Chain A
Amino acid sequence: MSIQVELTYDMGKAIGEHRFEVEAAATVADVVEQTRQRFKEGGDEFAKLAHVTRVAVNGVLVKHSKGMKTALKDGDRVGFVKASAGG
């Protein structure tokens, strides 16, 4: 099982990677915890930012499903998304 994780720019800077894969994460909460543990440097900063950032699985905010308990399957994409505006 492989989950693609994509971070906001600031989160990525905290741990030194913006895009990576995690193995065997059953829920979004698992992804956050595994990422925090995997990156010794910046992991805590990542976890802090993760709690004030929206999370989407395959583009759909987990808020509209089961939040951090949203179940994941092989090939899912977990994206951390900031609110923004463009033109």
Chain B
Amino acid sequence: MIKGYAGRVLEIDLASKQFTFKPLDEDIARDYIGGKGYGTRLLYDRTDAGIDPLGPENPLIFATGPLNGSVAPQSNRFAVVCKSPLTGGIGNATCGGNYAHGMKRAGIDVIVVSHQSESPVRIEINGDRDEVNFIDASDLWGLGTYETQEKLGKKLAHAVIGPAGENKVLYAGIVSNERIAGRTGVGAVMGSKNLKAISITGSRKLEMDDPEAFKSYTKEVRELFKDHPVLGSSMKRFGTAGIVNTTNGRGILPTRNFQRGHFDGAMTISGEWMEDHELKGVKTSCIHCPVTCGRDVEIEGKGVVKGPEYETLALMGSNLEIGDLEAINVWNYHADDMGMDTISLGASLSFAMELKERGIWDAGVSFGDPEGVSGLILDIGHRRGAGDEIANGAKKMSEKFGGHEFAMHVKGLEMSAYDPRGSFAQGVEYATTNRGGCHVQGASMYMESVGPLTINPQNMKLKADIPVLMQNNACAINSMVLCIFTTYGMIPKAIHEMDPDSFGHRAISKVFENLGPMMRLAMGMKGKPMMWFEKWLTYITGTTFSSGHLQEIGGRIFNLERMYNLREGLTGKEDTLPPRMLNESIFENMDSGHPLGELLPRYYKIRGWDADGVPLRSTLDKLRLEV
């Protein structure tokens, strides 16, 4: 077995309550690493086209990678893969907490949960004894994720759903500790299986090819992170919420269902404000992560709980035109406890508010008014009243009520909190990402609009190149499985600290902006490991991983996702942005919206796809991708 892997896949059949341990497929591990990549390969190979995402044929795949179980910072995440009930295409999400660590300690790389239980069940796995117990979960059914985990105790690592998953809210997630695999409705799939929780334990240790090199290099990386302006300073002080004022200043903070990109009340929902006014207790982190991006806040009646992060503050704050941080803290708690993705929830709520504003449908909530939101979130989680409609997400609501032009989703997945009209590469990334409108499948915005480089995010230079490179990179990172925030360390401290007006800074940005093909060539070169995650993979597995290797593997994973979507009927026509993003300008220097029509053909060409967005045979062959 390749070092870094436990070597086992646990197959669980919920219908028969049977399980088997099988050897990990080393060929898949070599070609797809693990995590999202391994899970996508299994999903593609094992399912037929057109299955019901909430039916028994949809497997729920939990997958770790070779970095999980190590002490590498940001490395304790697991991926969940299945067909998405929200988009009808590829579904996946990753999650921190301690569950990935638990899986590797149990000596299990991948868990495949098949079919459905007739009644609520939970699973306890002891990897040391090769035991899998199916336990009646009637007593936990209906409980929130906090109480469920409390009742399950701290001896095992848990992945659980809340009422939203049980009630098949289409953007329900799976929770571990206080973190959530939030996107694409993976929690609804778990709920459709009547599976409340998986708890896991074991005492196995990760075997590495060169543990000494790993250990000493990881010490170096910890120092590097500690000293980095984003990972060691901004994230540590303000969490992800430290970006609120930046996106607001750049005019890309979603406001009033993306009608604007600037919110007058942004300061009061910012990480800096939270630091001075709201934070309580210890700032939390995933296991072994020094970044501590989690924030603790206190809410009435519940005590100290996890605070909101950027996406929540934007989608459920400025996007609803509400700057009441105390209210958002409570809504964030409810969403976490119900087990719901706050991006989709926020964009579905803002869509409902705009429907009301236009006199189309009244869910009882309005822009700028916190009244009724709290109760509605609980109604969504329980699918009660108007909440039952909002639980289906913006796309399905627009199909029922109308309002397609202002339903803020791509492929059915609600868009994240970076308005693409001020971040063109991010717009291309949203439009083409296989799971839909999400930012953590590439994070192009960091390279063009919010990070330290001052390239122009509103011209055509590099805007089709950046998403390809970043999506491939993210596919590899989500397969190791590493936190995507590691990407923010890729621009070194020295560039962050340069005077943005200096000649050196301008020169770097200009060079970066004008060398698209050369950048692709450079990142595609298979040489020595340079970045920390390339070195970690190399030290752990014994196989050399460089940028070129990861671009190739990431490209293979991305194209496999694409082939999955095509098989499910999602074509190039779905590679688009909401009409509001394409047709309405929010910048005075633009007559219209995002220039996707001009950028998409360039993107397809770089990808090696035809004019309809279908990968060419030569592209698949080059990637050694069998479909």
Residues of A within 8 A of B (CB): 6, 8-10, 12, 18-19, 51-54, 56, 58-61, 63-64, 67, 77, 79-87
The answer on a CB contact under 8 Å between B456 and A87 is no
Interface residues of B in 482-502 (CB under 8 A from A): 484-485, 488, 496, 499-501
The answer on a CB contact under 8 Å between B267 and A9 is yes
Also in contact, A60 and B587, with CB within 8 A (given A9-B272, A85-B451, A87-B311)? yes
Query: Residues of B contacting A77 with CB < 8 Å?
Result: 262
B445 vs chain A, min Cβ distance (A): 9
- Residue pairs across A and B with Cβ atoms less than 8 A apart, 19 shown, are A6-B245, A9-B273, A51-B499, A59-B252, A60-B458, A60-B587, A61-B456, A63-B501, A64-B458, A81-B245, A81-B249, A82-B245, A84-B234, A85-B235, A85-B450, A85-B485, A87-B309, A87-B310, A87-B484
Query: Majority SS of interface residues in chain B?
Result: helix
- Beyond contacts A59-B251, A86-B244, A86-B309: 17 other A-B pairs, Cβ-Cβ < 8 A, are A6-B248, A9-B272, A51-B501, A54-B454, A54-B500, A60-B589, A61-B250, A61-B456, A63-B501, A79-B248, A82-B246, A84-B234, A84-B450, A85-B242, A85-B488, A87-B293, A87-B485
Interface residues of B in 561-591 (CB under 8 A from A): 586-589
Query: Residues of A contacting B587 with CB < 8 Å?
Result: 58-60
A-facing mask of B468-512, CB < 8 A → 1, else 0? 000000000000000011001000000010011100001000000
- Name, among A53, A56, A79, A86, the residue most crowded by chain B CB atoms within 10 Å (CB to CB): A86
Query: Residues of B contacting A84 with CB < 8 Å?
Result: 230, 234, 242-243, 245-246, 450-451
* Least CB separation from B589: chain A residue: A60
B238 vs chain A, min Cβ distance (A): 8
The answer on a CB contact under 8 Å between B450 and A83 is yes
Query: Residues of A contacting B240 with CB < 8 Å?
Result: 85-87
Query: Residues of A contacting B451 with CB < 8 Å?
Result: 83-85
Query: Majority SS of interface residues in chain A?
Result: mixed
Query: Residues of A contacting B273 with CB < 8 Å?
Result: 9
Residues of B within 8 A of A (CB): 229-230, 234-235, 240-252, 261-262, 264, 267, 270, 272-273, 293, 309-311, 417, 422, 440, 446, 450-452, 454, 456, 458, 484-485, 488, 496, 499-501, 506, 586-589
Also in contact, A86 and B251, with CB within 8 A (given A9-B270, A54-B454, A59-B422)? no
A13 vs chain B, min Cβ distance (A): 9
Query: Residues of B contacting A86 with CB < 8 Å?
Result: 240-244, 246-247, 309-311, 417, 450
* Least CB separation from B440: chain A residue: A87
Query: Residues of B contacting A19 with CB < 8 Å?
Result: 264, 267
Query: Residues of A contacting B267 with CB < 8 Å?
Result: 6, 9, 12, 18-19
- Complex: A69 Cα to B589 Cα, angstroms: 17
B463 vs chain A, min Cβ distance (A): 14
A3 vs chain B, min Cβ distance (A): 14
Our pick among A12, A53, A59 for the contact of B250 (Cβ within 8 Å) is A59
Query: Residues of A contacting B454 with CB < 8 Å?
Result: 54, 61, 63
* Least CB separation from A56: chain B residue: B249
Query: Residues of A contacting B272 with CB < 8 Å?
Result: 9-10
Query: Residues of B contacting A67 with CB < 8 Å?
Result: 501
- Complex: A2 Cα to B577 Cα, angstroms: 35
- Complex: A52 Cα to B229 Cα, angstroms: 14
**Shortest 10 CB-CB contacts between residues of A and residues of B:** A59-B251, A86-B243, A9-B272, A81-B249, A79-B249, A86-B310, A87-B240, A85-B488, A83-B452, A86-B240
Query: Residues of A contacting B245 with CB < 8 Å?
Result: 6, 8-9, 81-82, 84
The answer on a CB contact under 8 Å between A56 and B270 is no
- Complex: A38 Cα to B117 Cα, angstroms: 69
Query: Residues of B contacting A82 with CB < 8 Å?
Result: 245-246
* Least CB separation from A52: chain B residue: B499
- Complex: A53 Cα to B293 Cα, angstroms: 24
* Least CB separation from A82: chain B residue: B246
- Name, among B261, B309, B452, B500, the residue most crowded by chain A CB atoms within 10 Å (CB to CB): B500
